[in-house]
Amino acid sequence: MATKYIFITGGVVSSLGKGLAAASIGRLMEARGFSVTLQKFDPYLNVDPGTMSPFQHGEVFVTEDGVESDLDLGHYERFTSTVTSREHNFTSGKIYEQVIAKERRGDYLGGTVQVIPHVTDEIKECIRRISKGVDIQIVEIGGTIGDIESLPFLEAIRQFRLEVGRSNAVFVHLTLVPYIGAAGELKTKPTQHSVRDLRAIGIQPDVLLCRTDRLLAKEIKKKIALFCNVPEEAVMTAMDVESIYEVPLVLAREGLDAILLKLLDLPYRDKNMDEWVEMVQRAKSPADGEVVVGIVGKYVAYEDSYKSLNEALTHGGIANNVRVRLHWVEADNLMDGSLPEKVAPCHGLLVPGGFGIRGVDGMIEAIRFARERRIPFFGICLGLQCAVIEFARNVGGLKDADSAEFNPDTPHPVIYKLRELEGVEQMGGNMRLGKWPCVIKSNSAAQKAYGRTEISERHRHRYEVQRKYMEDLEKRGLRVTGETPDHRFVEILEIPDHPYFLACQFHPEFKSKPIQPHPLFRSFIDACKRHRTTAR
Ligand code: GLN
């Protein structure tokens, strides 16, 4: 079967949840027995989001092959069985980089290089590159209709549709239908305008997903259908939901998957969403109440910065039949003695990844508190590095122990820069990135959680534990329970004499899924649940 394509665009405003819509369509198509893959094009000029601030762009999602990519790829992996790679996320910057490299090589044989056809051809080529053997490819175009930067992508998908034919590609447009309180009405005008803009560049949407806080009445759908030139049955309410994992169910109720099959001329197949429905039920009404996890970090004011982490914690809750309530603690102002009070409601503390010195003292203080008061602790990446510094200073007697990232002149760089990277000061692409194997020691919490000793997890960091310090710290009770097979890098640390104290150098949150919660999040939430009982 030739690959079918579903192109997703967005109008009116950003942040409508195109990524979730794309991921949800992927889920529904897999549930009907089709193989899917998902891809995202971002119109901005950065080559990748690796150097962008989490405050601006949200989390950087890391793929198996070590690409720093858009956080929507995280949704794709959580909702479907797609494993994304460098071929699944392209920015304008990346596309132009490729075109310019070809120009420099002389590939264009002296021709004038232009947006049409050279940039658009490059985009189409990137789409085709991952189509092999895939039944349905879902392609999300980032940004909002009307942005200057997105034009080449829209032009490329317009051409693409013409090339593969009507029954092989559909356009799904996500838009907003706001409720205006003063008028007591839902307003369709923004949708009309954004579809008009799309049609002006030659794209007639086949399906409209209308984000709204209430069900669209028949008359509203009829009006949108008329003005936007879309059949009424293809105007769908994409209602706000409590859990993002409900989105596929809500869209299916509107008949989205059935209409996509029809438009794409695909054979009708029954859908099996049983496992998903059961998971959503558990997520929405857990049997065992709630646990509170304190996240002591730097980007806590902007939740998108820790997208995968939030989701992985939710998954840990699903696995333990509890709701996980996140209690954000700004690490920056914890040194005034306010820490015990600020973390008082928490059943466990987590220090997530991060870059730069801001807030590090607070994180170290939180770790000391968790260690001494025997509160479950989970450290991730920077969280592990801070745990080593804390232990070296307060148990190992190395008062000035630090990371070379925070104090290059420390006499005890317990955390230091990867040796082969010393001297590399360029900001982009100089980290230990992507999947690395790890061997787990027996009789450890990690082994108990994973149920095996050979694992692979994803990384994104420049600094590492300096092994020569670990010998002494191990004697004092901080045990290395995971390392790379060549023993070079420390990957997991635990304090065995503690109810739950585990830190990892990798980012387990990138591999957690709602129907396969990550072992370390499952075990951490389980520890929080046990702590809740003892703390009562
Ligand atoms: N800043 C640390 C490093 O570069 C930790 C990075 C992270 O937490 N992702 O090694």
Contacts of the segment 144-149: beta carbons below 8 A, 24+ positions apart? 144/10, 144/11, 144/12, 144/13, 144/14, 144/194, 145/9, 145/10, 145/11, 145/173, 145/194, 145/197, 145/198, 146/11, 146/194, 146/197, 147/43, 149/43, 149/44, 149/45, 149/92
Residue 161 in contact with ligand 1 by CB distance below 6 A: no
Instruction: Say yes or no: CB of residue 17 within 6 Å of ligand 1.
Output: no
- The amino acid occupying position 470 is M
pLDDT of residue 424: 56
Our answer on whether the CB atom of 463 is closer than 6 Å to any ligand 1 atom is yes
Backbone dihedral angles phi then psi of residue 487, each to the nearest 5 degrees:
65, 5
Could you tell me if the CB of 381 is within 6 A of ligand 1?
A: yes
What are the residues whose beta carbons fall under 8 Å from the beta carbon of 37, sequence distance 6 or more? 82, 88, 130, 131, 134, 136, 137, 138
Ligand 1 contact via 460 beta carbon (within 6 Å): yes
Residues 6+ apart with CB under 8 A from 378: 348, 349, 350, 351, 500, 502, 503, 520, 524
Domain boundaries, the chain: 4-278, 286-534
pLDDT at 146: 87
Residue with the nearest Cα to atom 5 of ligand 1? 382
Q: What is the pLDDT of residues 278-298, one digit of tens each?
A: 999 999 999 999 999 999 998
Do the domains at 4-278 and 286-534 have one common CATH topology? Answer: yes
The pTM of this model reads 0.93
pLDDT of residue 16: 84
CA of 380 to the centre of ligand 1 (A): 9
Q: What is the per-residue pLDDT across 186-221, written as a single tens digit (0 to 9) for each?
A: 899 999 999 999 999 999 999 999 999 888 889 999
Kindly give the number of the ligand 1 atom that is closest to the alpha carbon of 380: 8
Fold for 4-278, please state it.
Answer: Rossmann fold (3.40.50)
Closest atom, ligand 1, to C-alpha of 356: 1
Identify the CA nearest to 90 among candidates 150, 132, 147, 136: 150
User: Which pLDDT score, from 0 to 100, does residue 517 have?
Assistant: 97
387 within ligand 1 shell (Cβ under 6 A)? no
Torsion of CA 407, 433, 82, 4, to 10 degrees: 110
Catalytic residue annotation: 381, 507, 509
Instruction: Give φ, ψ of 498 to 5 degrees.
Output: -160, 145
Calculate how far, in angstroms, residue 384's C-alpha sits from the geometric centre of ligand 1: 9
User: How far is the centre of ligand 1, averaged over its atoms, from the C-alpha of 83 (Å)?
Assistant: 24
Whether residue 187 has its Cβ less than 6 Å from ligand 1:
no
Ligand 1 atom index nearest CA of 507:
9
Fold held by 286-534:
Rossmann fold (3.40.50)
Per-residue pLDDT of the chain (536 residues; tens, 9 = 90+): 899 999 999 988 887 889 999 999 999 999 999 999 999 999 999 888 877 876 777 889 999 999 999 999 999 999 999 999 999 999 999 999 999 999 999 999 989 999 999 999 999 999 999 999 999 999 999 989 988 999 999 999 999 999 999 999 999 999 999 998 888 888 999 999 999 999 999 999 999 999 998 888 899 999 999 999 999 999 999 888 889 999 999 999 999 999 999 999 999 888 999 999 999 999 999 999 999 999 999 876 677 788 999 999 999 999 999 999 999 999 998 889 999 999 999 999 999 999 889 999 999 999 999 999 999 999 999 999 999 999 999 999 999 999 999 999 999 999 998 756 555 555 555 789 999 999 999 999 999 999 999 999 999 999 999 999 999 999 999 999 999 999 999 999 999 999 999 999 999 999 999 999 999 999 999 999 999 987 65
CA-nearest residue, atom 8 of ligand 1: 353
Compute, in angstroms, the gap from residue 159 CA to the centroid of ligand 1: 42
Gap from CA of 445 to ligand 1 centroid (Å): 23
What is the SS3 string spanning 198-236? HHHCCCCCCEEEEEECCCCCHHHHHHHHHHHCCCHHHEE
